[in-house]
Amino acid sequence: VLHTHRREQLGDVIAATEETTTGVIRLRAMERDGVLGFPVIAVNEARTKHLFDNRYGTGQSTIDGILRATNILLAGRVFVVAGYGWCGQGLALRARGMGARVVVCEVDPLRALEAVMEGFEVLPMERAAAIGDVFCTATGDRDVIGREHFALMKDGTLLANAGHFNVEIDIAGLRAVASGTTPAREGVEGFVLPGGRRLYLLAEGRLVNLAAAEGHPATVMDMSFSNQALSVEYAVQYPGSLERKVHGVPREIDDEIARLKLESLEIEIDRLTDAQAHYLASWDQGT
Ligand SMILES: NC(=O)c1ccc[n+]([C@@H]2O[C@H](COP(=O)([O-])OP(=O)(O)OC[C@H]3O[C@@H](n4cnc5c(N)ncnc54)[C@H](O)[C@@H]3O)[C@@H](O)[C@H]2O)c1
């Protein structure tokens, strides 16, 4: 809104902070095109954010949303995760932990390779479509599951999304190919395809962990919101020092949040001795 309808207020903004993966991607695109009106601190890029909130928070709450919406048994089901980023990794691991047979779909060779080495089956969506029982997208991308995939899916397939927006599943395409809808459960809409197969869309294709469950527990959001609060404090403490770009969260803030979180969990860790610190930093020892 500030960049479009309230441009006269752009100059009043000291800085902004951005919470999520897709938001940071959009802000970097604005920086690249030279239209970003104020500095932004990319909270998502703090390690104490994406390694925990996205992986463990989204991983758990997405499973929670799918189960609350459907009450299915995950054990023995083929669970397809589209996108093996931080959210997808957490989701895949938890689905496997509940006994599902997990298939991963990716477009990034490195992430696909990680999924392979983690022991997941990796398939293109076209092949996964025919064997999956439950599909969940977590890509930040659009039309990851589309008409060509609906045509291949089994009767009773469940479709859910945990990514940023309700565009990861082509819902307009699903409505277009369906001959009608069938009542299912609260938050679940059944689509009848030609031939009688039924596909079930959870939470209108919106973030299933927020729409059908309660989102992430406070015990992981504490780190994300600490990053938000301390980044705001940082920006206010040093006004004018940040360029109109997307900046990472200062390393000291990230490290301090990890330290505080461990302290709150009453977990102690070892400390480097001076000799160890010197050894680790040296080039003339241990080579
Ligand atoms: N539901 C929530 O509460 C919640 C929480 C955090 C992040 N998010 C959102 O979830 C999405 C994923 O976040 P992340 O941190 O895991 O991002 P990420 O960048 O780490 O991972 C996204 C992955 O999706 C893959 N991908 C992109 N297009 C694809 C396609 N067409 N098919 C298969 N894979 C594809 C990418 O290669 C990447 O590995 C983002 O939109 C983010 O904003 C949601």
Q: Give the position, in ligand 1's atom list, of the atom nearest the Cα of 105.
A: 33
Query: Does 168 score more than 80 pLDDT?
Result: yes
Strand order across the 16-18 sheet: 16-18, 40-42, 246-248
pLDDT average, residue stretch 145-173: 97
Ligand 1 centre to CA of 279 (Å) is 39
DSSP string of 47-110?
HHHIIIIIIIIIHHHHHHHHHHHH----TT-EEEEE--SHHHHHHHHHHHHTT-EEEEE-S-HH
Ligand 1 atom index nearest CA of 84: 39
pTM as predicted: 0.95
Predicted pLDDT of residue 209:
98
Q: Among positive and negative, which fits the CA dihedral 77, 82, 85, 86?
A: negative
Q: What is the pLDDT of residues 248-272, one digit of tens each?
A: 999 999 999 999 999 999 999 999 9
> How far does the centroid of ligand 1 lie from the alpha carbon of residue 178, in Å?
27
The angle formed by the CA atoms of residues 42, 46 and 47, to the nearest 5 degrees, is 155
Mean pLDDT of the chain: 97
Question: pLDDT, tens digit, for every residue of 191-213?
Answer: 999 999 999 999 999 999 999 99
pLDDT for position 239? 79
Ligand 1: distance of its center to the CA of 82 in Å?
8
Burial 63-78 (b: 16+ CB within 10 A, else e): bbbbebbbeeebeebb
Question: Is a pLDDT exceeding 80 seen at residue 287?
Answer: no
Residue bearing the CA closest to ligand 1, atom 38: 85
Residue located nearest, by CA, to atom 37 of ligand 1: 108
